[in-house]
């Protein structure tokens, strides 16, 4: 019995010894850790500082550069003829309408008769004054009689000048019965109708001077300081027509309610289908500026925010929230949130999460992989 117990104890000691040796061997030669399998194959590209053309987008309306109001100058006359209609292009001095002039022409003839009568009377008094001078020198006329003859001559000359002024006035009134275009342009409105009696100052036509239109863009007060006079502008009208323009003037004040200011842009190209009052949008060029950019495909939009993914030395990605700016070709401007020369994931970022491990392969021209990325 004692021998059996001793044998069992010896066997247990041997088993414990082997177990201890196994644990010592495992501590001496630890098992290698299992490597993390990359979740995606991506290509990367550095964030580069490039010169980008800055532009400011704005909305506005097309309007007449200057609109002239053509009204009646004569009072109480009837329109007998209207020669133009809305949309007609006219030249400076072209006849637009004619008013009745019979009464004015009769008054002109009467004034011309009065002028002829005054001229004849003045001629007679002039002869009498010259005779009085001669007789006064011979002693037949006194100084008082000579002065009276000279005064009569001066009075007659004054009546001639008055009659001549009346003739000129009547001629002007007759000329006002012919309504002419004050400048070349396009008729934009017409109120004149044949047979209507108009008063002085009544509007008959509206004229877009020289047919020129301008774009009045609304720009926020924060951006108004960036707009320079003479800057080129690309405009797209509501009809889809592309127009070229140039900033003529920036408004000196800002609207107190909208906090927007107007930028007046002269249109340089053919108007085509563009019309005054039409809505248009455009881009005002602000010049070139050095700015940080990444390929457009590197920017991922999630929950309304923009992100890029950068690669660390351990091939793990970091998600960075960035603020984007303008798009120039295939390069997106990065305003904040990214350091220059950072290696960003060009494609496949939509499938990545912060901390993922990826495999990096060289990028091909265009910033994409030679084969579709696989997860």
Percentages helix, strand, coil for the chain, rounded to the nearest 5? 30, 40, 35
The answer, yes or no, to whether residue 18 has pLDDT greater than 50, is: no
User: At 320, phi and psi to the nearest 5?
Assistant: -120, 130
User: Beta strands 40-46 and 358-361: pairing type?
Assistant: parallel
Q: How many CA atoms lie within 13 A of 11 on its CB side?
A: 6
Q: What is the pLDDT of residues 315-328, one digit of tens each?
A: 888 888 999 887 87
Which among 229, 222, 235, 237 has a CA at the least distance from the CA of 264?
Answer: 229
User: Which residue did the predictor score with more confidence, 176 or 3?
Assistant: 176
Note the pLDDT of residue 32. 47
Confidence of residue 38 (pLDDT cuts 50, 70, 90): low
What backbone phi and psi angles, to 5 degrees, belong to 163? -65, -35
When mean pLDDT is compared across 106-115, 117-126, 169-178, 179-188, the lowest value belongs to 117-126
Work out the pLDDT band at 35, boundaries 50, 70, 90.
Answer: low
Q: Which two tokens stand for residue 258?
A: 């909208």
Residue % of the chain over a pLDDT of 90 = 39
Query: What are phi and psi for residue 80, nearest 5 degrees?
Result: -105, -20
CA distance 226 to 212: 26
Confidence of residue 36 (pLDDT cuts 50, 70, 90): low
Q: What is the pLDDT of residues 50-62, one digit of tens each?
A: 887 788 889 999 9
Contact 54, 286 (CB under 8 A): yes
Show the domains of the chain with their CATH numbers: 40-50+290-361 (2.40.420.20), 57-65+212-288 (2.40.30.170), 68-190 (no CATH)
What are the tens digits of pLDDT across the range 96-120? 999 999 989 999 999 999 999 889 8
Higher pLDDT, residue 367 or 231: 231
What is the distance between the terminal CA atoms of the chain, rounded to a whole angstrom?
69
Residues with Cβ < 8 Å from 243, sequence gap 6 or more?
Answer: 215, 234, 235, 236, 237, 267, 268, 269, 271, 272, 274, 280
Task: List all residues 6 or more positions away from 103 whose beta carbon is below 8 Å from its beta carbon.
Answer: none
pLDDT one-digit tens code per residue, 187-229 = 999 999 999 999 999 999 999 999 889 999 999 988 898 899 9
pLDDT in tens, 138-162: 777 777 777 887 888 888 889 999 9
Place of tokens 């290509």: 43
Angle of CA points 192, 195, 200, to nearest 5° = 55
Determine whether 54 is exposed, middle or buried from the number of CB atoms within 10 Å of its CB (0-12, 13-18, 19+): middle
The dihedral over CA atoms of 246, 251, 254, 257, expressed in degrees to the nearest 10, equals: -80
């Amino acid at each position: 019995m004692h021998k059996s117990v001793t044998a069992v104890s010896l066997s247990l000691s041997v088993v414990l010894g082997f177990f201890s040796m196994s644990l010592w061997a495992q501590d001496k030669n630890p098992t290698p850790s299992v490597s993390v399998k990359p979740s995606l194959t991506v290509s990367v590209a550095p964030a580069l500082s490039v010169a980008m053309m800055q532009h400011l987008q704005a909305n506005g309306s097309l309007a007449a550069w200057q609109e002239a109001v053509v009204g009646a100058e004569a009072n109480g006359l009837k329109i007998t003829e209207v020669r133009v209609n809305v949309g007609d292009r006219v030249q400076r001095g072209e006849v637009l309408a004619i008013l009745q002039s019979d009464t004015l022409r009769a008054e002109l003839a009467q004034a011309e008769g009065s002028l002829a009568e005054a001229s004849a009377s003045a001629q007679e008094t002039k002869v009498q004054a010259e005779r009085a001078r001669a007789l006064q020198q011979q002693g037949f006329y006194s100084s008082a009689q000579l002065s009276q003859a000279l005064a009569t001559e001066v009075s007659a000359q004054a009546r001639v000048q008055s009659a001549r002024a009346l003739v000129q006035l009547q001629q002007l009134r007759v000329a006002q019965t012919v309504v002419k275009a004050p400048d070349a342009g396009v008729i934009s409105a017409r109120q004149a109708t044949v047979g209507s009696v108009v008063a002085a100052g009544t509007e008959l036509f509206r004229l877009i001077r020289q047919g020129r239109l301008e774009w009045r863009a609304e720009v926020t007060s924060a951006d108004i300081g960036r707009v320079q006079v003479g800057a080129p502008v690309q405009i797209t009208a509501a009809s889809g027509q592309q127009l070229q323009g140039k900033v003529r003037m920036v408004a000196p004040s800002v609207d107190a309610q909208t906090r927007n200011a107007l930028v007046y842009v002269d249109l340089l190209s053919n108007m085509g289908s563009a019309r005054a009052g039409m809505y248009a949008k455009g881009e005002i060029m602000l010049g070139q500026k050095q700015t940080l950019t990444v390929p457009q495909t590197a920017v991922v939009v999630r929950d309304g925010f923009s992100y890029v993914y950068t690669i660390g030395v351990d091939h793990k990605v970091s998600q960075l929230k960035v603020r984007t700016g303008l798009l120039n070709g295939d390069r997106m401007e990065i305003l904040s949130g990214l350091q220059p020369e950072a290696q960003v994931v060009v494609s496949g970022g939509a499938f990545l999460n912060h901390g993922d491990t990826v495999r990096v392969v060289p990028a091909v021209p265009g910033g994409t992989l030679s084969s579709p990325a696989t997860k």
